[in-house]
Structure 1
């Protein structure tokens, strides 16, 4: 059992919103990687990892047999495009309500360590979070990303192993909390055996997250003190 509670945050619609910049970046990277414009639009299934979103977008655009290196080209182009549009991202995008206050407060708790579990590649997540200064409160080295595995539930194990290697502790399932805004976040956490807090800050309302089986649901990070929830989890561990 660890001396810490590992809190893994989803990124998009839980911590930040790109307000259209992410779609613009995806389209630019798609064209660079494939050599053709993204005429049919980007797949919009929320909660999927980046490789799954790219595969579906390729299908929508009639590319049924992508070459082996396509995802790597796309990922590099996506990071470069986010860097190019970083100022636009800061101007058009936003940190969601309550995020700064919550992350800062949790960063001062000696028994809590924070990172991310996201479908974004690590490179994209780093640029997006840095654009809003969110990276100062989370340890990205122990997070898990879409370029680790296509299955979101598998990402929990990556975060667990990285946390154990860095902190020299064993993280049981009860030591890990996933916080996200979609039923897929809830499903991923439960498939991995960890608890999930559902935050209705995206397109999924509280009842949908509750129906998906979230261990706790809130409307937004402004609605309640997340530390109270995590403290209850700590007491029940």
Structure 2
């Protein structure tokens, strides 16, 4: 690996569940160095805040989260989880509430909070399973690393995961060094995903001293909810067809750029650092 030599304030990129900072390794994965040079030679300035979805955008966690939900439900309800449900970009608040309602249970009276606490506990117990069954999606590490060398770009996550689970998953797959968790938005911040960008923008003002807005933000995700969230926030949307939603559906929903995956780092960086909403191109 080549040393990046560009992380002048590398410690700012990371975070931990306790609020501490983690330092990046300062290395580029093989093959990225030349691609960054190509992009930077074009003089692209791009957005200053990049907010990544996690599941099926950066990682594939297999069925581990579903098993954690099933185990947590059995504890909180005293019976097996039977009705099927979909995450599809929902926040953890929304997904857990739906699971309870599908089984005739009300999320009120503390049941939802207890369920969420148990989900966290169950997934923590399954970290080894997550590492064994899951994987970083092709190109995700390269894209995160490349953006991390750009001093005018800040990266975080906009995810349906609870904060604790977002940090856990990113740590398990070695991606946590590359994002600033302080300015992200998480599954306990709002019931509807569409309300998450406002939380991230407020946190940029609190922690960075500058309030970002949609015009200087790009949201990256794999579901129709990711696209709708970006559109509502006035942010650029880069969608990846690495989940259950097709490229055609993501395009029809209004994504500025739709990528098959993140494997081509040069193409990913061009999409992320391109024009504002409505000025992208597919790939």
TM-score normalised by length of structure 2 = 0.77
In 1: Cα distance, 2:169 partner to 2:92 partner: 14
Choose from 269, 272, 275 the match for 1:233.
Answer: 275
Cα deviation, residue 4, structure 1: 6.6
In structure 2, the partner of 1:199 is 240
Residue 164 in structure 1 maps to residue 202 in structure 2: no
In structure 2, the partner of 1:221 is 262
TM-score normalised by length of structure 1 = 0.92
> Where does structure 2 lack aligned partners over 5 or more consecutive residues?
1-45
Q: How does 1:51-130 map to 2 (within 5 A)?
A: 51-63=93-105, 65-130=106-171
Deviation readout 1:31-78 (Å, 9 max, x if unpaired) = 22333321334x114111112111221122222x33331222122211
Deviation readout 1:161-193 (Å, 9 max, x if unpaired) = 111211111313211110000111000111122
Is contact 1:5-1:112 (8 Å) kept?
yes
Deviation readout 1:111-150 (Å, 9 max, x if unpaired) = 1111101111111111111111111111111110110000
In structure 2, the partner of 1:18 is 61
Choose from 238, 248, 252 the match for 1:211.
Answer: 252
Residue 34 in structure 1 maps to residue 77 in structure 2: yes
In 1: Cα distance, 2:221 partner to 2:180 partner: 17
> Where does structure 1 lack aligned partners over 5 or more consecutive residues?
none
In 2: Cα distance, 1:53 partner to 1:185 partner: 15
In 1: Cα distance, 2:109 partner to 2:167 partner: 25
In structure 2, the partner of 1:50 is 92
RMSD: 1.8
